[in-house]
């Protein structure tokens, strides 16, 4: 294999194939390139069979990219490799072996909405108020226990005080319900795989012999359960290569344990350690700023990123009066750079989603295209959830959680009392709602309801049979037509119903792509539902021409030519809840490091003197992270000094240009009653003018689309005579 384009450290990492290997890969150091070439090197130069290679990443998108890159390097003999996420790998293992744990092989995978339904049901049975016991907190408690591999019985035994005692009992109830439904949540996928390996040593030995060369990407983000799973698989051959960066460990809130990477050499004393410090992404000024910030942490393996790129533009500082002013400054700079960079090459990063509102409003008024990561997800929409529930029940009729959702959707005259009787009968006899329906003649359900219920059961059984011989797209069409779901939406003749129909059509874009890559088989529906359950936020990020808006956490692994990091104020970032906790504060600093190293060319760091967030106006000092950046890296030669908006040492004042108004005359003024023309909305008339100076807004009544409020400085309008 040709490794001539690799640097010395990269080449050593690729060729060190035997025994434990820790690759400390800095941001932008080409770790994916190294991993894919290492896999290809094992196949081509070392003659390792593809079936003996396992590579684990954290997102489906990263797994697809790695698989494609390896296939481009080695055109044949790669199909038997496993390159997947932790969860996808566990689904495959459990699909073949979960019967050892008493589950059906056609198990369902719960999404967060399903989990919330189960917890609400438990609260209802226990006569507890969801307002006092937030289902999200209970789900978080259960998830934390599973990530620590603590079963319900152990949790109950160890619980010392309220509410842990109550939540541990609810964890027990929750797990019983899932078992009865032959359903798993995300955390179960890993916990039950470990339980399977503990219970069935021969199953573990099979996978140890199969995966003799193991690769784990983003090792700093692994939690205890993931660490234990990898340790089990690697125990026999110890050919384990982990890649990561202790400076980018930012998922403690999800259970990630930075000690996994820091203690790798304790776990494997014979390990080789290689540092990848050559950065191929960012300019020198950006890297020097990131290095200066992260050096203030103590819980890390020391390293310093370097680059062969020149210094590049210095960091730009934005200080605004308010969050609205901050948004306008960001938009102004985006417009300044629009002739050099496309919108899709720019990103705005913030600590929490709540900070996005003012920026989004300004984008809308400025007619700048954007996309938000982590907003309302397509798969959370009602019509998509309904359809997915039908597919889940077709695969696993014992999935009461999904069955309860579709039993009267669309409405078929089955009321809540009937459902309660079916559930009560199922709980008493230990059977599912689906099976209870078959006994509905004997449990006090009216004859008319029995006929409707049996009709539903008959329909679902026929669909289950058809599902083995048709594509997923054809199955979706069958479900929508035979259940009457589509007919009901079409009969409503409302804008909302039309939108729901369009979303269902869009869903078929997903199924068609799946059908192109998968042949019809008994496994088809299970594979499809598993794929859908494991979709992550980043899997949906597409280059559709807009500026990307996302949290810093969501940005990890991505890169942009231009990056704006906003909300750099004490109490916002770092978050108020961590300021007095040294370990938590170090995690916030790692998050700052991640945000800075997303930028390739231009980096803007922004704060506001006052900000309204969660309905409350706050005035906070600048973030301590700004003061950790050397003044020589800042535009104007000064440090990030505390001061008034757009004033002070080293601060660049950006005055929005009047020419940002789309007109033939610079400095044009508008008055109520003026006629204007907008590129997109057409002709209109100004009905009101609000605000002063840079914040001036125009209310315009357009002939085609009605009233729109636009920023005078940025709206693409021309004044008509």
Q: Binding site for ATP, residues?
A: 25-32
Cα separation values, 300 from 255, 263, 287, 474, 587, Å: 18, 11, 17, 53, 11
Q: Which of 598, 611, 654, 660 is catalytic?
A: 598
Helix 186-199 to helix 135-147 angle (10° resolution) is 30
Q: Which of 111, 188, 218, 326 is catalytic?
A: 218
32 among known catalytic residues: yes
Set 9, 114, 217, 221: catalytic member: 217
Report CA dihedral (402, 403, 408, 413) to the nearest 10 degrees.
-170
Known active-site residue 248 = yes
Is residue 459 within 8 A of residue 394, CB to CB? The reply is: no
What three-state secondary structure class fits 435?
Answer: helix
How many helices and strands, by DSSP H and E, does the chain display? 27, 21
514/525 Cα distance (integer angstroms): 11
Of the candidates 409, 411, 407, the one whose C-alpha atom is nearest the C-alpha of residue 420 is 407
How is residue 328 written in tokens? 């306008």
List binding-site positions.
25-32
Please, are residues 646 and 667 in contact by the beta-carbon 8 Å criterion? no
Of the candidates 294, 226, 298, 216, the one whose C-alpha atom is nearest the C-alpha of residue 255 is 226
| Set 10, 31, 247, 365: catalytic member | 31
- Say which of 175, 248, 316, 483 is annotated catalytic: 248
- For residues 279 and 338, give the distance between their C-alpha atoms in angstroms, rounded to a whole number: 26
Question: CA end-to-end span of the chain, whole Å?
Answer: 69
Write the burial class of residue 144 (CB in 10 Å: 0-12 exposed, 13-18 middle, 19+ buried).
middle
What single DSSP character describes residue 363? H
Torsion sign, CA atoms 207, 212, 213, 218: positive
Nearest CA-CA partner of 711 in 333, 335, 361: 361
590 is known as an active-site residue: no
Helix, strand, coil shares of the chain, percent, nearest 5, are: 50, 15, 35
Cis omega (within 30 of 0) for bond into 410: yes
Give the Cα separation of 282 and 305 in Å (integer). Answer: 10
Tell me whether strands 611-613 and 616-618 are parallel, antiparallel or unpaired.
antiparallel
Long-range contacts formed by 677-681: CB under 8 A, 24+ apart:
677/717, 677/718, 677/720, 678/367, 678/702, 678/708, 678/710, 678/715, 678/716, 678/717, 679/367, 679/716, 679/717, 680/367, 680/716, 681/705, 681/708
Residue 692: active-site member: no
Active site residue: 32, 148, 427, 663, which one? Answer: 32
> Kind and range of the H or E element at 64?
helix 60-73
Active site residue 411: no
Known catalytic residues?
31-32, 217-218, 248, 598
């Amino acid at each position: 294999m040709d490794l001539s384009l690799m640097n010395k450290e990269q080449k050593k990492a690729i060729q060190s194939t035997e025994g434990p290997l820790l690759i400390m890969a800095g941001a932008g150091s080409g770790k994916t390139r190294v991993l894919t070439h290492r896999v290809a090197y094992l196949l081509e130069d070392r003659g390792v069979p593809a079936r003996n290679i396992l590579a684990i990443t954290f997102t489906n998108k990263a797994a697809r990219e790695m698989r494609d890159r390896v296939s481009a390097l080695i055109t044949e003999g790669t199909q038997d490799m496993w390159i997947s996420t932790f969860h996808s790998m566990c689904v495959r293992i459990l699909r073949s072996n979960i019967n050892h744990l008493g589950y059906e092989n056609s198990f369902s995978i719960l999404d967060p909405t399903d989990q919330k339904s189960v917890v609400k049901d438990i609260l209802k049975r226990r006569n507890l108020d969801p307002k006092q016991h937030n289902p999200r907190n209970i789900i978080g408690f259960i998830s934390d226990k599973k990530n620590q591999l603590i079963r319900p019985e152990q949790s109950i035994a160890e619980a010392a005080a309220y509410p842990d005692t109550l939540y541990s009992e609810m964890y027990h109830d929750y797990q019983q319900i899932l078992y009865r439904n032959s359903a798993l949540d995300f955390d179960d996928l890993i916990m039950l795989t470990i339980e399977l390996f503990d219970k069935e040593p021969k199953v573990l030995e099979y996978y140890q012999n199969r995966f003799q060369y193991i690769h784990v990407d983003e090792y700093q983000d692994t939690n205890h359960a993931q660490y234990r799973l990898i340790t089990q698989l690697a125990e026999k051959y110890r050919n384990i290569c982990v890649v990561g960066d202790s400076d980018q460990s930012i998922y403690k809130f999800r259970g990630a344990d930075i000690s996994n990477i820091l203690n790798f050499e304790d776990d494997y004393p014979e390990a080789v350690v290689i540092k990848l410090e050559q950065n191929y992404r960012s300019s020198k000024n950006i890297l020097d700023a990131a290095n200066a910030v992260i050096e203030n942490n103590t819980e890390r393996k020391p390293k310093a990123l370097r680059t062969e790129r020149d210094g590049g533009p210095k960091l730009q500082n934005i200080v605004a009066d308010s969050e609205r002013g901050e948004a306008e400054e960001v938009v102004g700079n985006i417009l300044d750079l629009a002739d050099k960079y496309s919108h899709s090459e720019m990103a705005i990063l913030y600590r929490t989603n709540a900070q996005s509102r003012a920026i989004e409003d300004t984008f809308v008024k400025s007619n700048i295209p954007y996309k938000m990561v982590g907003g309302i997800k397509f798969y959370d929409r009602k019509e998509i959830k309904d359809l997915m529930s039908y597919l889940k029940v077709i695969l696993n009729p014992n999935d009461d959680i999904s069955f309860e959702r579709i039993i009267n959707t669309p409405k078929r005259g089955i009321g809540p009392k009937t459902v309660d009787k079916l559930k009560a009968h199922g709980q008493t006899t230990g059977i599912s709602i689906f099976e209870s329906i078959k006994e509905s003649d004997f449990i006090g359900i009216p004859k008319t309801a029995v006929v409707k219920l049996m009709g539903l059961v008959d329909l679902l059984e026929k669909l289950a049979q058809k599902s083995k011989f048709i594509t997923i797209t054809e199955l979706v069409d069958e479900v929508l037509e035979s259940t009457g779901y589509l007919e009901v939406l079409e009969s409503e003749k409302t804008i909302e119903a039309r939108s729901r129909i369009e979303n269902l059509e869009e869903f078929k874009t997903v199924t068609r792509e799946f059908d192109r890559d998968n042949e019809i088989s008994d496994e088809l529906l299970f594979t499809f539902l598993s794929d859908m359950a494991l979709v992550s936020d980043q899997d949906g990020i597409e280059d559709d021409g807009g500026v990307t808006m996302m949290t810093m956490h969501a940005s990890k692994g991505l890169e942009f030519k231009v990056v704006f990091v906003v909300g750099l104020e004490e109490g916002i970032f770092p978050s108020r809840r961590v300021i007095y906790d040294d370990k938590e504060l170090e995690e916030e600093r790692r998050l700052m490091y991640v945000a800075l190293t997303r930028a390739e060319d231009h980096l803007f760091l922004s704060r506001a003197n006052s900000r309204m967030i969660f309905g409350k106006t706050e005035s906070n000092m600048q973030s301590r992270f700004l003061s950790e950046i050397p003044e020589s890296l800042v535009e104007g030669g000064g440090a990030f000094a505390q001061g008034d908006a757009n004033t002070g040492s080293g601060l660049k004042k950006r005055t929005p240009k009047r020419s940002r108004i789309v007109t033939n005359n610079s400095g044009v003024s508008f008055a109520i009653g003026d006629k204007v023309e907008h590129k997109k909305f057409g002709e209109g008339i100004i009905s009101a003018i609000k605000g002063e100076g840079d914040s001036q807004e125009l209310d315009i009544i357009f002939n085609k689309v009605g009233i729109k409020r636009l920023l005078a400085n940025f709206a693409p309008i021309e004044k008509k005579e």
